[in-house]
Chains A and B, each alone.
Chain A
Amino acid sequence: MLGTLLSILILGAMISAVYALIAIGFTMIFGVGGVLNLAHGALIMLGAFAYLGLTSTGGMLSLPPLVGFVIAVAVSAAASYAMYAGLVQFIEENVVITFLATVVVALLATELVTFWFGTDPYQLVPLVAGSIHLETVGTRVRYMELLGFVISWIAIGLLWYYVTQTDEGRSILATSMSERGAQLTGVDLDFVKSRTWLIAGAFAGIAGVFLGSLLSTYPEMWLNPLAIAFIIVVIGGIGSIKGSVVAAYLIGYLETVTIQFLGSSFQGIFSLVVLVVVLLVLPQGLYGREFVHE
């Protein structure tokens, strides 16, 4: 029993760390622009496929994994920025149109990737191979999972430092609290939004490489993570970074426990039910109140 609990503790932490990265980007974009970016999932997929194209041993480039990782994250960040600069900023005054346009972009990206890579799954070359066998606990942890956990927390730490300790970052936080207030105090909105989309894209890229390595890489790989990001963000409170981190761990553990004790057929249902309950009892989510809603 103790072994099971420990194993849940470890496995849950690993997957939650990746969920947190996805949810943070999603929630930040909503925070500063009020945009529900459903194409966020597509950025995850893009990160994974960029890494695949750059590093796969059968491919043309076969770059070292670390180089591939850095470029893949940059590609996702750039794609995210391009989406803001090339599309969203022209339509964002209409929430509904923006919302729908991002869905369509996600579907379009999926079809394009399918066109090049087909629908069959790929495995990525791991950044670090191998694993540790925790015999007393009865589970194994891949170095890739540990690395994901560490990188996730480094990224969260850097982001926290950025938004609380630097002027640039503080303007992002200010904007997400009140767009008009920030504007009055001289914040360059356009700059803030571009930055946010860049950061969100980079986070999605990191998550993509880890999801793609730990799970698998295929055009529709983003659907589940996006659904999970939805749930996390709503539970944490739309727009709240802190809420996303807390809720990511909540949902990560919930899923791990569900598989362990209820079996796989209920996987995915339980967290949806929790979500519905939270929405009905606490519609603003755990930390939603720190933001001003109209």
Chain B
Amino acid sequence: MGALLADVAAWFGDSANWTGAAGVPNRVLEHLQYSIVPILLALLIAVPIGAAVGHSGRGGFLVVGVANGMRSLPELGVLTILVTFMSVGLLPVTIALLILAIPPLLAGTYAGVSNVDRAVVDAARGMGMTEPEILTKVELPNALPLIIGGLRTATLQVIATAAIAAFVGVDGLGRILFSGLAVRDYTRMAAGALLIAVLALLADAALAALQRLIVSPGLRTSTSSRRRAVVAPAQPEQLPQSRSTTPEPELARS
């Protein structure tokens, strides 16, 4: 492992790997470019739908069902099918990443909005707020931790899948990894893998910082959902009520 670390360090130290179209900076830029567009589009699509469903309470089972069902869809399959039926290029990759980014955001927004304390919503209504006001001024701010949780999940999914997209013909950091794979150059593969991991960790850290900045201090204690958060109910089921026939507890047991 020591030799490998030295090899990988040497790869990063080689200035040839930092310049030109195949250099690290350009690959990082490509990777960000592939990732940002689908994430922004997914925000534009998923947040309004999730908020509407969460606010009205109708169609919630559909949102949760779709989000859970999408988890089983292999990202490699989505990419290869779209590229096969469209063409090699950025458009099918963007659509594939969008398809993968929508469910966690949709589920996060829906869960966030529908879990806002009913008493808070009733209070807002009692104060004379209109329904759109309740949604934008009360429910969405309260839902922010879960919405950003969904955004973090979606972002990780997109960055990871954008790396896989190099297999279907685009570039980005995945290209470093796959070009290493093609010639059995493990050092280059490991360097590419490390770069992807660092990008994912940095993106997640940036979103965590954003969360700390924009979530109301009053909501600090609420748990934010992590990547691929359990959309199925995370609350433990209620214990059955004790019945009248409960036997007397044994008092002493040696």
Task: Determine if chain A interacts with chain B.
Answer: no
B-to-A contact residues, CB < 8 Å: none
